[in-house]
Amino acid sequence: MPGRIMVGVDGSAPSDAALGWAADDAARTGAELHIVHALDRQPYSVGRFPDFGQWNNLLLAASRVLERAEAAVRARQPSVPVHAEIVEGTPAAVLQDQARRADELVIGKRGLGGFAGALLGSVTMQVAGQVRCAVVVVRADPPERVGEIGVGIDDSDVCEPAIGYAFEQARLRGARLRLIHAWQVPVHAFAPEIAYDVDEVRAAQREVVRTRTAGWRERHPEVTVVEDVQSAHPVEALTGAPCDLLVVGSRGRGAFGSLLLGSVSRGVLHHARCPVAVIRPADDPGTSPSR
């Protein structure tokens, strides 16, 4: 589990929720917590004569955001080592760079100020789709805890890191782990009359889940596992079950099709009511290298 957790803050409600989630996860894992505020000079440097007084005000406001964030963490989790820093640059660039030195990055689903535009399709999607460490996206209004973690399972090796992360989160929280596998009967355009034995297909899909998670169950016998195999769209299956955290891989194949940001992962980030962790494989060439 993480040795260093990074959280982006800007004083917004989603940022506060992300800060609380990160502080709790740092306490669970024994990690240090690094709080970062991205201060973007560019929007205030458009005029011919820059307003240095305005820039000083922005620095002062950023310092207050960090002070407030650090105080909130110390009040909530006093045993967690905390470091806070203002970093100049655009939010996406700052977070991607800081994530190189982190094992987990936590961000709010939306933002204000330094994180303006942190909507799906902008900062959140840029970060979740590019960095190599685990990325946890937290809503401003997460639901009440239900004692369950959900993880998407497919028949590819790409989901292994997500499964490992989910098992460890369940172990640390003493939570149940719901193994969610969605499958859909294929339709052949040139032979739509082809029939399938649904019970046989369902049994085969359950075997996919058991085979894919067998090693993790052996390593974590203390984790109570619930198999949730559905004939449904993956996003519907993943977001339909109440969970404290949903864990998805960033790409895959099989029942989950092409699990890229922009398809299933993007759909889950859009529609999930709970925090979502996006886990990329360590050898994914599409990510930025971490430490």
Average pLDDT of every residue of the chain: 83
Q: How far apart are the C-alpha atoms of 285 and 288, rounded to whole Å?
A: 8
Question: Quick one: three-class SS letters along 16-55?
Answer: HHHHHHHHHHHHHHCCEEEEEEEECCHHHCCCCCCCHHHH
Q: Which CATH number among 3.40.50.12370, 2.20.130.10, 2.40.50.100, 2.30.22.10 corresponds to the domain 148-274?
A: 3.40.50.12370
C-alpha dist (Å) from residue 161 to 66, 199, 208, 259, 265: 32, 30, 16, 14, 15
pLDDT digits (tens, 9 = 90+) for 86-143: 999 988 899 999 999 999 999 998 644 444 433 444 677 778 877 889 999 999 887 8
Tokens of 209: 């889940």
Domain residue ranges in the chain:
4-138, 148-274
What's this model's pTM, rounded to 2 decimal places?
Answer: 0.84
What is the pLDDT at residue 154? 86
pLDDT digits (tens, 9 = 90+) for 192-224: 555 556 677 778 888 989 999 999 999 999 999
Q: In what order do the strands lie in the sheet with 82-88?
A: 82-88, 32-39, 4-8, 104-108, 134-138, 276-279, 245-249, 148-152, 176-183, 225-231
CATH class of 4-138: alpha beta
Crossing angle (nearest 10°) for helices 123-130 and 91-99: 20
As a residue count, the chain comes to: 291
The two domains 4-138 and 148-274 share their CATH topology (first three levels equal): yes
Q: How far apart are the C-alpha atoms of 117 and 43, rounded to whole Å?
A: 13
**Half-sphere CA count of 135, side-chain side, radius 13 A:** 33
Q: Is 121 left (phi over 0), alpha (psi -120 to 50) or beta?
A: left
What is the pLDDT at residue 134? 94
Query: For residue 256, what is the DSSP state?
Result: G
